[in-house]
Homo-oligomer: A and B are copies of this chain.
Amino acid sequence: MSTLTPDILSTLEQQGIELPSWAFGNSGTRFKVFTTPGTPRDPFEKIADAAEVNRVTALAPSVALHIPWDKVDDYAVLRRHAEDLGVALGTINSNTFQDDDYKFGALTHEDAGVRRKAIDHHLECIDIMDATGSRDLKIWLAEGSNYPGQADLRGRQDRLHESLQEIYARLSGEQRLVLEYKFFEPAFYHTDVPDWGTSYAQVAALGDRAMVCLDTGHHAPGTNIEFIVMQLLRLGKLGSFDFNSRFYADDDLIVGAADPFQLFRIVYEVIRGGGLNNPDVAFMLDQCHNVEKKIPGQIRSVLNVQEMTARALLVDAEALRAAQVSGDVLAANAVLMDAFYTDVRPALAEWRESRGLPADPMAGFAASGYQEKIEADRVGGVQAGWGA
């Protein structure tokens, strides 16, 4: 426990990372979706899997739902199911990319009828939020166009504002709207919310409870993501993270897998800007486990965030400031690298044990027999997936 102070451990103890229900279903590429035994067939099974991640890590206290994939008849039942398993229902994610009507847009569509349908879908999502007790409505828009001229960029932006306004107006109490941006895909020429600037301009025009969602895989090559984290925290508009990692595009790999140092820098900037364990800034995963096992994939992911948070908390802030002020480039960089290169894993393992958790949650899960059980039990039915 040498490297991690009680202060750091107490900070880590408060950390919670929301899991996406859809990470437990099948996902893939346009070329192939590989299936795996034990994959959940319904929202109840997804939540059970998510709760298992929390059981061995104490890091994943809530589960985000995706509508309509996670629609159920009675959300009170689903909520009790989750609570019985020790987790809460979290963010509600809308879906405007899987209906034929949305081929040319949803909230931005030229046709008022299609916009109506898309707005109504979001209003239904808010109804579900009322039932589940969820705070956040997360909107990721697949809208855009594939060919220059296909769409009127400006008109779409204006219609987007109108549609969002109507959705925003329906929120009540503590509820928030978080608007995700994405560089490209599934549209290949233009995307209606392609960058943080657009998301920021749109949510700023809505009001205080509209925030930006930063998905770490949704940027142009070479983008300095921690800079955006800093800026959005400074502007008071960082509402949530969708964590994952990427080498090329929106690869949706396990967070920290592609560039661990980038994750470190992002978490460092979160801490620097007061965003850690700040209820305004939700930490979520949004990943696809196309080739790896899903539950262990999620365990690995939350551990990566925890380990990197521990490292970022080790940064010697005073030494860093001194080096920055004096213009000592190498010393300043060394302070950061010193924290990054510190191996926090033994201390975290010891600490976990002291809290009644498996020292190695990956091994703990493997030894639990849970995977074997679901593979045996979940026979028949239709495995959950994106339904693309």
Contacts and interface: CB of A to CB of B under 8 A. Distances in A.
Given A30-B29, A149-B332, A248 B185 contact: yes
A148 B292 CA distance: 13
Contacts of A224: 189-191, 194, 247
A27 B34 CA distance: 18
Interface string A312-355: 00000000110111010110111111001111010000000000
A118 to B, nearest CB: 14
Given A157-B231, A231-B198, A333-B150, A188 B221 contact: no
Contact of A27 (B30, B201, B234, B246): B30
A74 interface: no
A28 interface: yes
Contact of A329 (B33, B292, B345): B292
Interface string A94-125: 00011010011000001000000000000000
Interface string A159-184: 00000000000000000000000011
Contacts of A79: none
Interface stretch (A9-17, A45-53, A55-63, A250-258): A250-258
A235 interface: yes
Contacts of A91: none
Copies of this chain in its oligomeric complex: 4
B327 A104 contact: yes
Interface residues of A, number: 104
A283 B112 CA distance: 37
A32 B184 contact: no
Contacts of A157: 230-231, 234
Nearest to A205: B235
Contacts of A249: 184-185, 248-249
A272 B388 CA distance: 35
A222 B201 contact: no
Interface in A184-213: 184-186, 188-191, 194-198, 200-201
Interface of A: 27-35, 97-98, 100, 103-104, 110, 142, 145-154, 157-158, 183-186, 188-191, 194-198, 200-201, 219-224, 226-228, 230-231, 233-235, 246-249, 251, 253-254, 257-262, 265, 269, 272-273, 290-293, 296-297, 300, 307, 320-321, 323-325, 327, 329-330, 332-337, 340-343, 345, 362, 386, 388
7 contacts: A146-B329, A149-B333, A154-B230, A158-B234, A184-B249, A189-B258, A342-B343
